[in-house]
Each structure stands twice: as C-alpha cells, then as structure tokens.
Amino acid sequence: MLEVPAQVWQKVKTNYIWRSLFRHGYPDSRKNQSLAVFTNVFLHLHPVKVRRHALAIPYTWCMGGLSFFLFLVLTLTGTLLMFYYHPVSAAVPGADDAYQDIKDLETVVIFGQFLRNMHRWAAHGMVITVFLHMIRVFYTGSYKPPREFNWVVGTLLFVVTLVLSYTGYLLPWDQLAIWAVTVGMNMVGATPFVGDEVRFLFLGGFEVGGNALLRFYVLHCVALPVIAGFLMAIHFWRIRKDGGISGPL
Amino acid sequence: MTVPRGPQPFPGQEKRLRLLAFVRQDSIVRVDKRVEDTAMVWPHLLVIEFIAAMVWALGLFVVAALFNAPLMDRANVDRTPNPSKAPWYFLNLQELLLHMNAALAGVIVPTAWIVFMMTIPYIDRSREGVGVWFTSQKGKTVAVFSAVYSTVLTVGLVAADFFLKKAGYAEWATAHLPGGKLIIPDVVIPVLVMLILPVVLVVLLKRLYQANTREWMIGVWTGFLATYVVLTFIGTSMRGPGMDLFAPWALPPTHD
C-alpha cells in the first residue's frame, strides 16, 4: 500500500529540480540536519548546534526572536497598508487625505480594519518585547565580555524601535496622532542650543502639518526600517561572532 | 615521484589541507564542554521558534479581531485635547516634564540614560555570573531592595511635588528664590535629586550588602526599571485634564 507514495517521494527527492533546491537529504541525520541549517539562507544565521540551556524559555523568554518576528509582521502589514495610504493632509475637512484613507481602511477595504489593528497592536507589542528582551539580557549578565558591543547595538535598536513607533503614531492623522506628536516635538524643541532647528528639521515647519506628515511617513516607511535592518544584521551577526547565546561559564 | 606515507587516497581524490577559517577561541562551540551539552538547531531550536511564532501570530490575530485600533476625529490644530499626551512609552518623560525644566526632562535625562546604558558593559567588565539570572542570591536581594527603594522614592517625590504645588510653592519660589521658579526648583533641585538618589542607592548597596560592580549595577538598572514603570503608570492612568493628579479609577475623560 505505502509503496506507491514512498516511490513518488523517492522520485521527488531524486528529481533534478528538487536537488537543485536542496543540497541535502531529509534532515533526519546529524549530517543532513547540519546541512539543512547552513545551506539555507534563512537559517544560516543560526549555528548548527546550540548549548542546551539556550533552548530554555525561562532563560531567553524568546523575546529577542519574538521582537524580530513582530518586526517581520510589521514590515508585512505595513507594506500592505502602504497600498491604501497617502501621506497627505487636506486643508479642507472631508477632502481626501491621510485621515480619509484610514477611514476607508476601516469601512471600505476588505480586512482593512483587521490589517490596521494587526499593525497597531504588533507595534505596541514590539516596544514591549524589545523592552523585555533588554531586561532579560541585563539580568542574565549577557552584556558582559565578549558581548559588550552587541549590548550597545541593542541599545540603539531599542531607541530605533521607539522612534519607529513614534513616527508611525502620526500617520492616522487624527487628534490622538497630531497632539501626541506635538507633545513629543515640543520636548525635542527643548533641546539646548539647537532645539528649534531640530524641531524644524522633523516638522518641516513650525507646527505639525502636511510637511511633518510627509517627513514622518518617509522616516517611518523607509529610513528607520532600513536603519533597523542594518542594526539587526549587525546584532544577529555579532551574537554568532561573540560565541553564541550567553550562558554560564 | 615520492609516495607520501600513510593511507593512500583514491586516484583523483587526493586530499589537501586548506585554511578554511580563522576562528577565535571565544567563537568556537565550547571546547571545554562535552557534546551532550549541545543540541542540534534542527530540529530542537527551530521547533521552539516555530511554535513561538505560531502562538504569537495566533494571539495577534485574536487581539486584532477583538480590539480596534483607536481613531479619533480628524487632526485639527485649533482644537487642543486636554490633556494632550504622548504615546504611552514616552509618558514617563512627559511625567518628568511636570517636575522640571523641559530640556532636562525631554532631552538631557533620556540621552544621559541611553549613554549610561551603553557604557554598562564597559564599567561592569567581569565575566562573573554570565548566563545566570541575577548572578547570585545576593543579586536578587539587591534587585528587590532597589525596586522597593526606587518605587517608594519616585512615588514619594511625585506626591511631594503635588502637595508642594498645592501649598503654593511655585508662587513662593517665583517671588523669593534667585532666578524665580526657573533655576532652583526647575533645574538645580531635580538635577541634585537625580544624581544624589542613585549615588545613595549604590552607597547603601555597598554598605548593606558589600555589593560588587555587577551587584550595584543590578541595583541601578532595577532602579531605572522601577522608576520607568512607576512614571509610565502615573503618566498613563493618573494624569487628567490640566495634567493634574487623579486616582486611576477616577480619571476624568479627555476633553477639548
């Protein structure tokens, strides 16, 4: 009975196309499990073996990985949201602008509300997971040598996460958005010596208006994700180079 | 032709040695640990990662299906909501803003903290306690002590500010202090408080627990966490119209 599917499976596995995709057999032996990890572009950031305690949820809380997972969710939902969104503020109420796009997302676009909800809650979630990851890393002493620099990179990633979330806060262009950003920008404006200039740089004007919306949009959708991507590449790479996940000496 | 010693390779399969990689001692998979201490990433780690991702994806679906993201009226620069609040993760800074100079609260304190955070591994350089939660039992004690110390002081300071303002301290300061309210109450006192209290904490930890660098660092970090959480909570749930202090269960709604 089972011979036919087994033969088909065998055919598939020895097929020329299949073998061009996968350079190894089914990962049920040590050798193939190793090959599965380091011949796969998505898995090769992992080592082939990890120390056992690295698998323990009470040790890692999974929070670094989940932060990255949420970043991927945000990239995906964010890209979909970009199809429906114009970073435009209308002078006339009721005209087509960013706020109307959000309204349309909620009422016209199929699953639009769901998409926006996913993006919003994942964004809050990522601030929390990054924070928890930082807490875990601190209390387990994982910043200690040789991982000093990766802690610095992680701190920068924490800041980038907050700024990403903050720039996204303005985009719905509702009362919550513009006044939260006004409060934040007034804080920035209090920077000694260059406060007004920095504030103007962010807003493209003296108050939160159309230019600010465009600048926050570009920062949120292009500049900051690219920066975060670079820092994450360094962060993940350094985990490997600094001896893998921390653990008792 | 001289034949090399040892087992002979098959024709066409002569082995040569190449330098494939230069690997530092730290990077090698644990020379001092036995094989039993390690696990294959495929399947052991990947299964955990997959399950974690699925559980979180499902959780996110459920949350997104049940709760809608907030959307208020169209942005209007002429209608200021009272109170206007920053996103929750910045409400701790907005709370600081009520107690001190704006540059201090909004820029200098957070920048100083971020810079300090980046220097932590360059101050605490011992490798003792890596991979162990709180390093030791003493580390846990220190963390609890610091959490209580910081929570009590932060709540106390916010309360003191509340009662002093009620008693007309701001008016008194404007009339009687050199530079009025702007220098001593808004800059000098907050700076002294923010410098002295952590130093007192470290001194206490050294005196009471003979804390080493790692242990007092746990104390300072825990102090930051406690302060961050307390200030975020106050800023989120206890600040109403006019940024006045309210009980969390009696917080009036935002109005224009």
CA dihedral sign of residues A74, A79, A81, A85: positive
Count of domains for chain B? 1
- Interface probe for B, chosen from A99, A179, A188, A193 (most Cβ of B below 10 Å), is A179
With CA atoms as reference, report the closest residue to B223 among B247, B193, B180, B183.
B193
> Is residue B56 situated within a structural domain?
no
Return the pLDDT at B105. Answer: 92
Cα–Cα dist A186/A175, whole Å: 16
Mean pLDDT of chain B: 89
> Is residue B190 situated within a structural domain?
yes
Structure tokens at B157: 């300071």
Structure tokens at B222: 């825990």
For residue B104, what are the domain limits?
Answer: 88-250
Question: Backbone phi, then psi, for A111, in 5-degree steps?
Answer: 65, 15
Domains of chain A: 1-49 (no CATH), 52-241 (1.20.810.10)
Return the pLDDT at B144. Answer: 97
Low-confidence ranges of chain B (pLDDT < 50): none
Question: Backbone phi, then psi, for B82, in 5-degree steps?
Answer: -120, 115
Structure tokens at B186: 């808004």
> Is residue B222 situated within a structural domain?
yes
Sequence-ordered list of residues with C-beta below 8 angstroms from that of A147, at least 6 positions apart, any chain:
A238, A242, A243, A246, B121
Condensed to tens digits (0 to 9), the pLDDT of residues B186-228 reads 999 999 999 999 999 999 999 999 999 999 999 999 999 999 9
Return the pLDDT at B12. Answer: 66
Return the pLDDT at B17. Answer: 67
Chain A positions touching B67 (Cβ under 8 A) are: 117, 121
> Is residue B125 situated within a structural domain?
yes
Cα–Cα dist B34/B38, whole Å: 8
The DSSP element (H or E) to which B199 belongs, if any, is helix B189-209
Give the total residue count for chain A.
249
Q: How many Å lie between the alpha carbon of B21 and the closest alpha carbon of chain A? A: 13
Return the pLDDT at B9. Answer: 65
How large is the ipTM? 0.91
Q: What is the CA radius of gyration of chain A?
A: 23
- Interface probe for B, chosen from A178, A207, A213, A242 (most Cβ of B below 10 Å), is A178
With an 8 Å Cβ cutoff, are A244 and B29 in contact? yes
Is A238 in the B-facing interface, judged by CB distances under 8 Å? no
With an 8 Å Cβ cutoff, are A49 and B52 in contact? no
Condensed to tens digits (0 to 9), the pLDDT of residues A41-95 reads 888 889 998 888 889 889 999 999 999 999 999 999 999 999 999 999 876 666 7
Cα–Cα dist A135/A116, whole Å: 29
Return the pLDDT at A2. Answer: 80
Low-confidence ranges of chain A (pLDDT < 70): 91-94
Return the pLDDT at B16. Answer: 65
Is B94 in the A-facing interface, judged by CB distances under 8 Å? yes
Return the pLDDT at B1. Answer: 53
Cβ count within 10 A of residue B183: 14
Return the pLDDT at A51. Answer: 87
Cα end-to-end distance, chain B, whole Å? 96
Cα end-to-end distance, chain A, whole Å? 54
Q: Residue written as tokens 């206007």?
A: B84
> Is residue B70 situated within a structural domain?
no
